[in-house]
Structure 1
Amino acid sequence: MNELPLAAAALGEQFALYLSALSNNIEPAQARLLWQDIAAQYGATQRAYHDLNHLRQLFVQFEQVKHDLHAPSIIALALYYHDVIYEPSRSDNELRSAEYAFAALRPYLRLPQCQHVYALIMMTATHQLGELSDPDKVSDTAYMLDMDLSILGTPWHEYQQYAQAVRQEYHQVPLADYRLGRTQVLTALLSRSRLYLTDYYYQRLEIQARDNIKREISLLLNL
């Protein structure tokens, strides 16, 4: 049995629940349409990593930490929309995804809620907390960003599949250019004092993630 349609259905049901938790003026049919739109975006043929499997992996993580979140439904919606627009050849995917989410959710959510989702998605461009001052938002944002990078700390065979999928998304880029660009991205990650902002993810994934990144860099340099 193909698990992806089942996973997509479950993701759609969860999406409706999180949206309904924040809005009392949305009908089930409207939530289904919003989800179908999200699923169509993530199901685009050019996606090999930033697809519905990526969302599924994120919500496995979400289930593990949601009890520590102050605004779990907001974080969930930001996760759903954070890669809704993804074109490897462009550098403004986060901005376009944030704008897309804002436009889609504004008819149903209050303005501050939409602004919060927008800001969360924008932070996935740098995976840095920036100048947040609200302790609850700082904590929630840190968890969300760590969830998005949790793939880096998976066992090597899973990380390999991730790295191969990323390369597939950039298949149009010549190998030499890809090797240079990808190595720069990975080296920049390694230069951070810590990859994971929360103690939860730092303690569980930091060492494995750094080992994986170093191993990928080594493979890239020997291609």
Structure 2
Amino acid sequence: MKTASNNHDELGKCFVQHLSAMTSDILPKQIDRLWQDIVTRYGEPQRAYHTLNHIEQLLVQFENIKHYLAEPHITALALYYHDVIYDPTRSDNELKSADFATDALSPYLSPEQCQQIYALIMMTANHQIDESIDSVKYSDAAYLLDMDLSILGAPWPTYKQYAKAIRQEYAHVADDNYRDGRTAVLQGLLAHPKLYLTDHYYNQLETQARDNINHELTLLAAL
């Protein structure tokens, strides 16, 4: 069984591989500095769900679907950076994360590559895809967004731990306010015709995700 540190070592190695595949104009010590910045951010004390364990879970899934992606290295880097800035008291975390990624990577990647990563991260704010992008980029974005929401379709015990971790991140919010806010978020998710945009995730997780959300709504209503 892997320890957390081993998992994070593997995450670091994968980060090196993806970034190195996109540019030869970067030194190992520069990649290591970028990775250590990511580790520091995801290790902040206000996080309970949005940690490196979340990124590890996404990268495990990425390995299973990367053959569907047109630009897997771009998508992988977007996964690494999409929650790099996370303050539960703010509503601009995705924007701040996208800016952080661009600032960190722009010395090494092309403007187009940085813009693609920026755009992918920004789509995680409302989990909607910019309809103006071409079909290839649309498909990659759909997989990234589905991976990010895959926790919703996990077995109930795993989902329950996720919901508990989210509550922990919002410990500064009173119970009544949290119940109301979380209920609105979950009801908003249920209002989508489809939670998952790709057939791969829709077929596997849609039914379980809706069951989980309804179960959490029932528990919230009892508070």
Give TM-score, length-normalised by structure 1.
0.99
1:29 matched residue in structure 2: 29
2:135 matched residue in structure 1: 135
* In 1, Cα distance between equivalents of 2:214 and 2:34: 40
Identical pairs, percent? 59
1:157 matched residue in structure 2: 157
* In 2, Cα distance between equivalents of 1:132 and 1:109: 23
1:217 matched residue in structure 2: 217
Question: What residue identity is the alignment partner of 1:214?
Answer: N
Tell me whether 1:3 sits opposite 2:20 in the alignment. Answer: no
1:67 matched residue in structure 2: 67
2:189 matched residue in structure 1: 189
* In 2, Cα distance between equivalents of 1:41 and 1:65: 27
CA drift of 1:3 comes to 1.2
CA drift of 1:219 comes to 0.2
CA drift of 1:150 comes to 0.3
Aligned residues: 223
Give TM-score, length-normalised by structure 2.
0.99
Tell me whether 1:107 sits opposite 2:107 in the alignment. Answer: yes
3-state secondary structure, aligned to 1:107 = coil
- CA RMSD in angstroms comes to 0.9
CA drift of 1:2 comes to 6.9
CA drift of 1:133 comes to 3.2
Instruction: Name stretches of at least 5 consecutive residues in structure 2 with no aligned partner.
Output: none
Cα-to-partner distance string for 1:63-95 (whole Å, 9 max, x where unaligned): 110011000000000000000000000000000
Instruction: Name stretches of at least 5 consecutive residues in structure 1 with no aligned partner.
Output: none
CA drift of 1:28 comes to 1.1
Runs of 4 or more consecutive aligned structure 1 residues displaced over 4 Å after TM superposition: none
1:16 matched residue in structure 2: 16
Cα-to-partner distance string for 1:7-50 (whole Å, 9 max, x where unaligned): 11110110011001111101111111100100110011110000
* In 2, Cα distance between equivalents of 1:206 and 1:6: 32
2:38 matched residue in structure 1: 38
3-state secondary structure, aligned to 2:219 = helix
CA drift of 1:126 comes to 0.7
